[in-house]
């Protein structure tokens, strides 16, 4: 039974529908704020401890892990978002674009967690910074370097794809004119 088939006496008044939506929105916002406060107090310190255990105080490991997380995380995120954008209008594209966007969000998580440590203002972020300074040296700088290199690589690939698309559209718009045969002339010269 659709909304238009429901008898008028059985429909909910518009005020009740909007009241229920407002209550659901306020409840959702309260849950999101509570989740943010809990995660802001936990995640930066936890992420810094995971990195510190992987790097173990080594500059070489800090640079290696930083380049890996910063470069691969950024490149994977950007290329997945590009694939989502390019595949949106194709057959089955909305589903695949949504899946690619979700995977891009997951690929961005390590970089976002590193940003919570570096840019955070809470006590957990400051504790995470101290942990990274002592137990994961050179990680933050290498992560930033990897992200910049991945962004530059993405810019080059996106420019090449854009150029290819422009050329393809120009080529599709051209009309090939048939070659005209020259009229035969008698050059018998006699």
Do 174 and 94 form a contact (C-beta atoms < 8 A)? Answer: no
pLDDT value at position 189? 57
pLDDT value at position 153? 97
Do 87 and 97 form a contact (C-beta atoms < 8 A)? Answer: yes
pTM, entire model: 0.70
Nearest partner of 66 among 121, 131, 132, 130, judged by Cα: 132
pLDDT value at position 167? 76
Do 57 and 135 form a contact (C-beta atoms < 8 A)? Answer: yes
Render 68-137 in DSSP notation, one character per residue.
IIIIIHHHHHHHHHHHHHHHTTSTTHHHHHHHHHHHHHHHHHHHHHHHHHHH--SHHHHHHHHHHHHHST
Chain Cα centroid distance, residue 6:
43
User: What is the full per-residue pLDDT of the chain (190 aa) written as tens digits?
Assistant: 555 555 555 777 888 888 999 999 999 999 999 998 888 889 999 999 999 999 999 999 999 999 999 999 999 999 999 999 888 878 778 888 899 999 999 999 999 999 999 998 889 999 999 999 999 999 999 999 999 999 999 999 999 988 887 777 777 666 556 667 666 666 655 5
Cα–Cα distance, 73 to 93 (Å, whole number): 23
Non-local CB neighbours of 158 within 8 Å, separated by 6+ positions: 82
Classify the C-alpha dihedral 26-27-31-32 as positive or negative: negative
The full set of domain ranges for the chain reads 13-170
Torsion of CA 133, 139, 145, 151, to 10 degrees: -120
3-class secondary structure, 143: helix
Cα radius of gyration rounded to whole Å, the chain = 29
pLDDT value at position 184? 64
Question: How many residues are given for the chain?
Answer: 190
């Amino acid at each position: 039974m659709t909304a238009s088939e429901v008898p008028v006496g059985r429909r909910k008044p518009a005020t009740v529908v909007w009241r229920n939506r407002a209550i659901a929105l306020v409840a959702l916002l309260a849950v999101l704020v509570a989740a943010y406060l809990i995660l802001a107090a936990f995640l930066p310190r936890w992420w810094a401890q995971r990195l510190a255990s992987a790097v173990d105080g080594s500059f070489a490991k800090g640079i290696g892990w930083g380049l890996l997380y910063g470069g691969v995380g950024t490149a994977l995120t950007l290329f997945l978002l590009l694939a989502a954008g390019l595949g949106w209008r194709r057959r089955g594209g909305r589903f695949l674009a949504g899946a690619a966007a979700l995977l891009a969000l997951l690929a961005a998580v390590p970089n976002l967690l590193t940003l919570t440590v570096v840019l955070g203002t809470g006590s957990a972020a400051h504790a995470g910074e101290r942990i990274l300074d002592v137990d994961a040296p050179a990680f933050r700088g290498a992560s930033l370097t990897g992200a910049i290199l991945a962004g530059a690589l993405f810019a080059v690939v996106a420019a090449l794809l854009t150029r290819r698309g422009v050329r393809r559209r120009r080529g599709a718009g051209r009309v090939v004119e048939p070659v005209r045969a020259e009229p035969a002339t008698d050059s018998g010269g006699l």
